[in-house]
């Protein structure tokens, strides 16, 4: 599992340019499904046919946050803006990698007050160029954080756990699942970080009977963290609500019962800010009963996110148990 997650987190794939990570995921699942296609927006949709049961959509977004270059000055320094939820206070001294392999360091202009968090207009990227003409990065190029995965016991540290760890759960599910009554639509969505765009189009095309998103969620187990009943190492979280959706009560209870009946640790998630692909799936067509399995994650949307491997593995177990439950069949 660790090497699977490592491959996914270290692959370039910002929102709007998911070509490379999509190919990696395609190679991982192509021998495990009956049909595989890429839709017009770029979602990778894998169908594993069942035995006449329900249409179940399982979604994890493959895009990651990043930065986009909006200006190159005469000395070859890059000015940039956020692609998705990127925050200036997490950036100083960090490295970003562009699609062509060029790596740059994020620097900051001299500030009037070192106590103030700089704004994006005070930040720049240094790729070692000596002039605008010499610069190997151009306006419109997109960079992502450049960080390798580190494993320390059960804790993993890397960039892009949001949501490559969800993608890993779905890949592992396909490796471990046996016969299933239901048609499983495994969807690796695009542009979630820009407004759930891939989930909107893929859910409309599939028109599933049930939808489950697999994504990360924040925790309340760090110093002076906001009060939240989610912690690393205590199991995947079954979402109750977030800023844009309330999970379908039937789906939520089915997930809880699947966990309890199979001895799988779980937590309940009430997230005050943020959302997932489930918010878009839920509002598709006439409405889709939708729930979320969340992987607890510290330091979301920073260059160094942290998850517990046991939570990831138990998320796979929970999905397997849910897909074989009588409640889903009925």
What are the C-alpha distances in Å from 92 to residues 46, 72, 106, 272? 39, 19, 6, 27
Q: Is 272 a catalytic residue?
A: no
Helix, strand, coil shares of the chain, percent, nearest 5, are: 30, 30, 45
| Cβ neighbourhood burial of 193 (10 Å; 0-12, 13-18, 19+) | buried
- Which one is catalytic: 192, 193, 269, 305? 192
Owner of token pair 């970080």? 193
SS (H, E, C) 243-293: CCCECCHHHHHHHHHHHHHCCCCCEEEECCCCCCCHHHHHCCCCCCCEEEE
| Cβ neighbourhood burial of 233 (10 Å; 0-12, 13-18, 19+) | middle
Q: Which two three-digit tokens encode residue 295?
A: 């992987």
Name the H helices within the chain. Answer: 2-9, 19-29, 161-176, 197-206, 249-261, 278-282, 309-323, 326-329
**Count of CA atoms in the C-beta half-sphere (13 A) of 15:** 23
Residues 160, 145 contacting (CB under 8 angstroms): yes
| Cβ neighbourhood burial of 54 (10 Å; 0-12, 13-18, 19+) | middle
Residues 270, 227 contacting (CB under 8 angstroms): no
Q: Which two three-digit tokens encode residue 124?
A: 């720049």
The residues carrying an active-site annotation are 192
């Amino acid at each position: 599992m660790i090497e699977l997650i490592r491959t996914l987190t270290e692959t370039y794939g910002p929102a709007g340019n998911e070509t490379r990570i999509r190919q990696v995921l395609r190679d991982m699942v192509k021998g495990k499904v009956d049909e595989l296609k890429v839709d017009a927006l770029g979602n990778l949709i894998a169908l594993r046919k069942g035995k006449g049961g329900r249409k179940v959509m399982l979604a994890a977004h493959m895009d990651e946050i990043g930065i986009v270059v909006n200006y190159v000055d005469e000395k070859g320094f890059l000015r940039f803006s956020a692609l998705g939820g990127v925050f200036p206070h997490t950036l100083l001294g960090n490295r970003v990698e562009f699609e062509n392999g060029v790596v740059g360091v994020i620097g900051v202009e001299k500030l009037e007050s070192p106590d103030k968090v700089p704004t994006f207009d005070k930040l720049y990227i240094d790729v070692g160029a000596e002039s605008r003409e010499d610069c190997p990065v151009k306006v419109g190029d997109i960079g992502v954080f450049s960080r390798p995965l580190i494993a320390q016991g059960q804790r993993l540290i890397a960039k892009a756990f949001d949501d490559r760890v969800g993608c890993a759960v779905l890949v592992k599910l396909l490796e471990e699942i046996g016969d299933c009554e239901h048609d499983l639509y495994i969807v690796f969505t695009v542009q979630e970080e820009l407004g759930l765009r891939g989930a909107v189009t893929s859910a409309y095309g599939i028109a599933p009977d049930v939808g489950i998103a697999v994504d990360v969620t924040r925790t309340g187990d760090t110093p002076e963290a906001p009060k939240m009943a989610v912690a690393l190492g205590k199991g995947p979280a079954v979402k109750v609500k977030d800023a844009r959706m309330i999970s379908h009560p039937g789906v939520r209870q089915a997930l809880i019962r699947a966990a309890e009946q199979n001895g799988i640790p779980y937590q309940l998630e009430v997230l005050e800010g943020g959302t997932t692909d489930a918010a878009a799936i839920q509002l598709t067509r006439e409405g889709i009963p939708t729930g979320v399995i969340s992987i607890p994650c510290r330091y979301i949307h920073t260059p160094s996110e942290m998850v517990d491997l046991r939570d990831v593995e138990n998320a796979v177990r929970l999905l397997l148990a849910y897909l074989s439950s009588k409640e889903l069949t009925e």
